[in-house]
Structure 1
Amino acid sequence: MKFNYDLEFKNNSNTNFWKQNTPLIEYCETLGINIPHYCYHKGLSISGNCRMCLVELKNSPKPVVSCAMNAKSCLANGDIYTNSSLVKKARENVLEFLLLNHPLDCPICDQGGECDLQDQSLFFGLTKKRFYSFKRVVMDKNIGPIVKTVMTRCIHCTRCVRFAAEIAGVEDIGMFGRGLHSEIGTYVEKIFQSELSGNVIDLCPVGALTSKPYPFISRNWELKNVTSIDYSDGFGTPVQLALKNNQIIKVLPGYEKATYKTNWISDKTRFSFDGMFSPEKIVYSFIDNNNKKSFISLSWKKLFKEFFCTLYFQNHLSKHFYQPHQITVCLDKNISLEVLNLLNILSHKHSFFKLRQSEIQNLNVDLEQNYLLNSSLDHSKILSSDTCLLIGINPRYEGSKLNLTLRSRYLKGNFKILHVGSLFNLTFSTYNLSSNIKILKSLVEGNNLFCQEFVNSSNPILISNSEIFKRKDAFSLVNMLKSLTKYINLYSQSNDLNQLNILNPTLNDAGFANLNHLKAVKYKDFRNSTGIYFINNSFSTSNVKKLLSLKLLNFFQNYKPENKLLITQNSTLETKTIALLKKGFDISNHMHLPNAIFFETAGTYINTEGTVNKVAKVVTSSGQTKSDWQIIRKILSYSKKTLFISNLLKNNKLTYNCNTTHNFKNYIGFQHYAVSTLNSVAFQLFKKVAKYPLDTFKFKSKRKKLYKSQLRFWLNDFYVDGKDFNSKYSSTMIQCSKLSRLNNTNFKY
């Protein structure tokens, strides 16, 4: 290897600073020289026990281990040789020892075709074996429903052991025994209980740890790889999909461009996709008229005709009762921006379409920083911080990417994490203050001992999640948290301004808030509507459950039973909840429009960090399913042909009220601010102009309520009770959920 040592290592350029402490094997990879290895991995610590990465160093009496040697110290002494006769002989000997006890079962091994041991023995190994004694046999371990073990194939690279200890934070896997009797496994018979356990499948260089849900399905050369994003949480991390015969076979971690590394993904990201293709998936449209006969299946043309004929009849009937005609469209936050914009056009074009969201959320959408993990919360910000306050959030199960960042910072030392909320294990130690709101009040007032931590800290971080916006006192609680950040900025030693960071659990929560702030569906929407239209809704949300329970208990006395129309647009149906809904609200007609799942449609989403992610269609839709965008566009086009809708409108042209949607001029009249035009720097340039003295002002400000209740006590089940409604139909996630509930007590059933 020829290079200029002074130019490479003695310059102080920030771009070359990574070379100062990099291993020799990584430095060679940047020059295009690949050194074979097994135990080395960029995301793990150095072990140096496989000895496959031996290289020859000039003036050295023996080969050196390139993963355990610093590039700067090695290259200071002289040149290195990566393909000399000594190196070739060393690699042959190492591979011969690795294959002494390895079984020759490559044809039936799931790792075949993507096995490092297979590839490197072909390139660097011997052509003839010299070992004819019996191979040793190691018993397989049952470490859960995710990872399948064939421990006889293990070459003791200890990647899985280091991953469990350093990344996952669950030190259940280790090596025991010595010499010929050494094994890797759990010390006692137990499962590997971690939400990141599936990553050891990718880490294992041989077939010792493979995927248990999908054994003996395909080979690597039969698969087609497509890039997509994670749909299970709010980060939308990049993933790779392996396709075969229009089916998704497996989900692998993708490449993170921001950190230049392959990311770690959770078990839910990796294995919950089979819930989308479960037998419960409905791929045909139908109409249920409460007859004892089976459902009536129709084509899309007949279905839309029936849809608008029913609406026409409902409208004609409501005119006799002098009631306004209204259709409530209830949305979930997993739908794409394109569908949201199309529904917005539909509601502007036809005033009787009312958009509602399924869950209550008292959110202030004036500024993006009110509902995002702000741009200040990047990796460098967390590295420079020494204090973090978690408020009613469980990052381990709500955003594993955030939890991994906090854990890596914690392992570096001098990082104190305070937590307000339910007790749980975040894989690193935290100080649990309380789960009551009173502790936050004492922090804001400065009457708590931990206030001193914020005063003496540098760049403290405050992180919460969007669950706090479901409380009735959400505005008061958020204002109190903003006051806390304000006081921290005043008294802390850092120069940077800190903000409250909000973690969103769903894929397009931020995009939903960016478009418009929709009201939550309420009882009066059911009462005043002749049709209720659910799009991608999970009927297990707390708000819908509460409305249904109160109606079945006859809490709403003034409800007039009418023949309402229920329209569901979803890939699955919760039949028990639908039956209760039809019984409680006297719904006689039920129409189902089958829509495509996440991987069967293209869309745009905004993640919790404010990054726009675009997703392409990767799988062909089956049956009658169409994307949400296609269905709503058809409703728009059919609405022009129907007589009753054209009578309700002045004209069929698409019109916007520009004063309320696009032009924000003269709408900034705060109590003591001058009226001005809103732009990017408006809030910084405003001057306070008090038109009235404070004591003579006509109106008093509303008194804000704050409930002294638990911030959050019971946690959602990570595997089956998340915001994505497909995971509950996944057989793998159901098995994982059963096992996790045996060990954890603070998950609600």
Structure 2
Amino acid sequence: MGALTLKSFSDELREWEFIEGEGIDPTDSFGVNLRLSIRENQIFLAEPNDVNTPWLTDKGRLFFDGMFETSSSKPTDWEKFFQEISELTYFIDHLNFQKQNALSLIFAFENVSLETLNMLYLLKQNCSLIDLRKVESYKPSNNLESDYQLSSLTQKPKIQMSTLGILLNTNPRYEGYVLNLSLRQRFLKGDFKLFNIGSILDLTFPTHNLGSNFQLVKSLAEGTHLVCQDVKNAEFPLIITNTELFKRTDSRVFTEVLKYTSVLETAWNGLNILNHNISNAGIQSLNKFLPLSSEDLGNFFGLYYINVSLSATANMKKLTELHLLNITSSQASFDNSIFVDQSTKPSNRVVYERLKNKMFKNYFYLPSNLFLEDSETYINTQGLIKRTTKLLHFKKDAKTNWQITRRIYANSKSLMFFNNKKDNKLISFDSVNLFNFKNYVNFQFYAVQTLTSLSFYLNKKNSPIIKAKIPSLKSSKVKVFETKLKNWLDDFFNTNGKDSFSYNSSVLINCSKIMRSSNTNFF
């Protein structure tokens, strides 16, 4: 008698038919190494491939379910797009010479690799009409690596020295499960207290919730809170927050307040910033890019979105609604504005139809490659360099983000700008292909010993510089608002997600519905 198997099992793939490959997890800011099982340009299995972190969440295992969806869009006419964008740029350059308010082409990006980010930066330097903007509306300080990264204190050997930790408006179980595992291991060894300022969370180990008001941080610095005695007697205390805190208008005084506690010292910097995606630390390490605001949408002749989903970004939802209500409309806006959507799926076409003939006239969709369809480089929230290898070739008409940006960069070099002639005299790197571009000496401004093809990757880790107490000028006063911090909806799968894959995964959507119906009152 044969084995009793399902009838549908005969159509399933066997294990020996898989091709093994290595990748990283893009659903959080750590980029944990993965072992992927691939067959016919499809990912069927994702497993952890890191000795130090032999753990992977359901979101990291099932994110690829939303990647492989065939789109019904028409084939892209690449030559027509590059010709039209070049002619429009040349016309606007002459028009700006006669107008008082200059028009610009705004590049808004999210989840981009270091190669694409550096090419965008070179494009900005070569053409004065281009402005680079982030999508998320926060302004953190990036003077030192410790201002936007998790410091080396969160590593397992050094976290054992700490006896107290404070979570400020962050959920490490959702945002960075690697950090949550380290905190759990430290708690199980004993002699460790963890306080939480924010919503009540289930981190799989007990925590002490102090409240959700930002005024608690001020009371800790003044020494009037009951927890101040624990902080003063603790050894090497640390505080962990995320980039969501810097969306507040009073976030500038955050580090200034902590100077009065024993968290920030000359020999011990216990401040840790947890990023929301894997590309955010690389963006902060290159330059300080401003967020996209309503003032930017006043005078422009084109919006160029790179890996941006307008329906999943709260900042873009607000700006779109203001334009629909004619609140931010400007009389000097250009009538022939274009909307360029460069992403894996044309998900922003619905927004364009709402703003058609009001804010935009033409729409271009540029299909870009999927994740793992190109070799890309990232810097995670710990300062480690993470790389992906090309494992798939799913979309034939698509191109990489670096190739599309490089073509625009090549067209801008062939134009003679009338308004700003110094752009034609700038010395820039002649990037022929991606391999030679990685040898660029100013690539992320790292110091190298030799100019070889592997010189950039010899830096295994970017160690944060410990901030010392340096006397400076008197800073301006910032009003502290007595408002509550952002409340977290404990949806582990989709809510407040920053990756572009989980929203399209049918498995994660069903898991999200089940969790909301069983654990929360939100539907």
Q: How does the TM-score come out when normalised to structure 2?
A: 0.85
| 1:532-543 correspondence runs (5 A) | 532-539=303-310, 540-543=312-315
Question: What is residue 519 of structure 2 aligned with on the other side?
Answer: 744
Question: What is residue 274 of structure 2 aligned with on the other side?
Answer: 503
Secondary structure at the residue paired with 2:261? helix
Question: What is residue 476 of structure 2 aligned with on the other side?
Answer: 702
Q: CA deviation at 1:508?
A: 1.4
Question: What is residue 550 of structure 1 aligned with on the other side?
Answer: 322
Aligned with residue 109 of structure 2, among 331, 341, 361: 331
Question: What is residue 232 of structure 1 aligned with on the other side?
Answer: 27
Question: What is residue 3 of structure 2 aligned with on the other side?
Answer: 105
Q: CA deviation at 1:222?
A: 0.4
Kindly, what percent of the aligned residue pairs are identical?
Answer: 36
Rounded Cα–Cα distance in structure 1 between residues aligned with 2:361 and 2:102:
20
Aligned with residue 521 of structure 1, among 269, 288, 292: 292
Judge conservation of contact 1:348–1:655 (CA < 8 Å) in 2.
no
Q: Relative to structure 1, is the Cα distance of residues 583 and 447 closer, same or farther in structure 2, using a 3 angstrom cutoff?
A: farther
Judge conservation of contact 2:134–2:291 (CA < 8 Å) in 1.
yes
Rounded Cα–Cα distance in structure 1 between residues aligned with 2:50 and 2:242:
26
Judge conservation of contact 2:76–2:365 (CA < 8 Å) in 1.
no
Q: Relative to structure 1, is the Cα distance of residues 253 and 499 closer, same or farther in structure 2, using a 3 angstrom cutoff?
A: same
Q: CA deviation at 1:653?
A: 4.7
| 1:173-572 correspondence runs (5 A) | 217-256=12-51, 259=52, 263-279=54-70, 281=71, 297-315=75-93, 321=99, 323-332=101-110, 334-486=111-263, 497-539=268-310, 540-556=312-328, 558-561=330-333, 562-572=335-345
Encode CA deviations 1:221-254: one digit per residue, 9 max, x unaligned.
Answer: 1001111111000011100111111221221111
Rounded Cα–Cα distance in structure 2 between residues aligned with 1:395 and 1:649:
50
Q: CA deviation at 1:302?
A: 2.6
Q: CA deviation at 1:583?
A: 5.7
| 1:13-32 correspondence runs (5 A) | none
Q: CA deviation at 1:306?
A: 2.7
Judge conservation of contact 2:138–2:246 (CA < 8 Å) in 1.
yes
Rounded Cα–Cα distance in structure 1 between residues aligned with 2:290 and 2:296:
11
Rounded Cα–Cα distance in structure 2 between residues aligned with 1:564 and 1:428:
53
Question: What is residue 88 of structure 1 aligned with on the other side?
Answer: none
Judge conservation of contact 2:380–2:386 (CA < 8 Å) in 1.
yes
Aligned with residue 591 of structure 1, among 342, 354, 364: 364
Judge conservation of contact 1:548–1:580 (CA < 8 Å) in 2.
no
1:578 aligns with 2:352: yes
Rounded Cα–Cα distance in structure 2 between residues aligned with 1:310 and 1:716:
46
Q: Counterpart of 2:315 in structure 1: which amino acid?
A: N
Long gaps (5+) in structure 2 = 429-443, 447-463
Secondary structure at the residue paired with 1:599? coil
Question: What is residue 713 of structure 1 aligned with on the other side?
Answer: 487
Secondary structure at the residue paired with 1:502? strand
Rounded Cα–Cα distance in structure 2 between residues aligned with 1:500 and 1:216:
53
Encode CA deviations 1:545-587: one digit per residue, 9 max, x unaligned.
Answer: 1212222233236454522111111112133333334465x21
Encode CA deviations 1:523-549: one digit per residue, 9 max, x unaligned.
Answer: 221111111111111213222112122
Encode CA deviations 1:583-614: one digit per residue, 9 max, x unaligned.
Answer: 65x21111111111211111110011110111
Report how many aligned residue pairs link the two structures: 489
Secondary structure at the residue paired with 1:742? helix
Rounded Cα–Cα distance in structure 1 between residues aligned with 2:241 and 2:474:
31
Rounded Cα–Cα distance in structure 1 between residues aligned with 2:274 and 2:474:
34
Q: Relative to structure 1, is the Cα distance of residues 537 and 653 closer, same or farther in structure 2, using a 3 angstrom cutoff?
A: same
Secondary structure at the residue paired with 2:283? helix
Question: What is residue 98 of structure 1 aligned with on the other side?
Answer: none
Q: Counterpart of 1:544 in structure 2: which amino acid?
A: M
| 1:613-652 correspondence runs (5 A) | 613-641=386-414, 643=415, 645=417, 648-650=420-422, 652=424
Question: What is residue 457 of structure 2 aligned with on the other side?
Answer: none
Rounded Cα–Cα distance in structure 2 between residues aligned with 1:731 and 1:480:
44
Q: Relative to structure 1, is the Cα distance of residues 345 and 735 closer, same or farther in structure 2, using a 3 angstrom cutoff?
A: same
Question: What is residue 16 of structure 1 aligned with on the other side?
Answer: none
Question: What is residue 293 of structure 1 aligned with on the other side?
Answer: none
Rounded Cα–Cα distance in structure 2 between residues aligned with 1:412 and 1:684:
31
Secondary structure at the residue paired with 1:273? helix
Judge conservation of contact 1:482–1:500 (CA < 8 Å) in 2.
no
| 1:131-146 correspondence runs (5 A) | none
Secondary structure at the residue paired with 2:22? strand
Q: CA deviation at 1:278?
A: 2.3
Rounded Cα–Cα distance in structure 2 between residues aligned with 1:460 and 1:402:
16
Secondary structure at the residue paired with 1:592? strand
Q: CA deviation at 1:735?
A: 0.4
Judge conservation of contact 2:269–2:466 (CA < 8 Å) in 1.
no
Q: CA deviation at 1:473?
A: 1.1
Rounded Cα–Cα distance in structure 2 between residues aligned with 1:303 and 1:681:
45
Judge conservation of contact 2:372–2:392 (CA < 8 Å) in 1.
yes
Q: Relative to structure 1, is the Cα distance of residues 109 and 515 closer, same or farther in structure 2, using a 3 angstrom cutoff?
A: farther
| 1:113-128 correspondence runs (5 A) | none
Rounded Cα–Cα distance in structure 1 between residues aligned with 2:284 and 2:485:
23
Secondary structure at the residue paired with 1:270? helix
Rounded Cα–Cα distance in structure 1 between residues aligned with 2:468 and 2:487:
39
Question: What is residue 127 of structure 1 aligned with on the other side?
Answer: none
Rounded Cα–Cα distance in structure 2 between residues aligned with 1:466 and 1:565:
31
Q: Relative to structure 1, is the Cα distance of residues 109 and 233 closer, same or farther in structure 2, using a 3 angstrom cutoff?
A: farther
Judge conservation of contact 2:126–2:412 (CA < 8 Å) in 1.
no
Encode CA deviations 1:636-684: one digit per residue, 9 max, x unaligned.
Answer: 122234x45477534645437xxxx989xxxxxxxxxxxxxxxx99986
Question: What is residue 456 of structure 2 aligned with on the other side?
Answer: none
Judge conservation of contact 1:386–1:416 (CA < 8 Å) in 2.
yes
1:735 aligns with 2:507: no
Rounded Cα–Cα distance in structure 2 between residues aligned with 1:322 and 1:509:
35
Question: What is residue 289 of structure 1 aligned with on the other side?
Answer: none
Q: How does the TM-score come out when normalised to structure 1?
A: 0.60
Q: Counterpart of 1:250 in structure 2: which amino acid?
A: L
Rounded Cα–Cα distance in structure 2 between residues aligned with 1:458 and 1:683:
19
Encode CA deviations 1:435-474: one digit per residue, 9 max, x unaligned.
Answer: 0011111111111111121223223221111111111111
Q: Relative to structure 1, is the Cα distance of residues 298 and 390 closer, same or farther in structure 2, using a 3 angstrom cutoff?
A: closer
Larger relative contact order (CA 8 Å, sep ≥ 6) = 2
Rounded Cα–Cα distance in structure 2 between residues aligned with 1:594 and 1:707:
44
Rounded Cα–Cα distance in structure 2 between residues aligned with 1:636 and 1:376:
41
CA radius of gyration, larger in: 1
Q: Counterpart of 1:462 in structure 2: which amino acid?
A: I
1:611 aligns with 2:402: no
Q: CA deviation at 1:307?
A: 2.6
Deviation larger for 219-228 or 455-464: 455-464
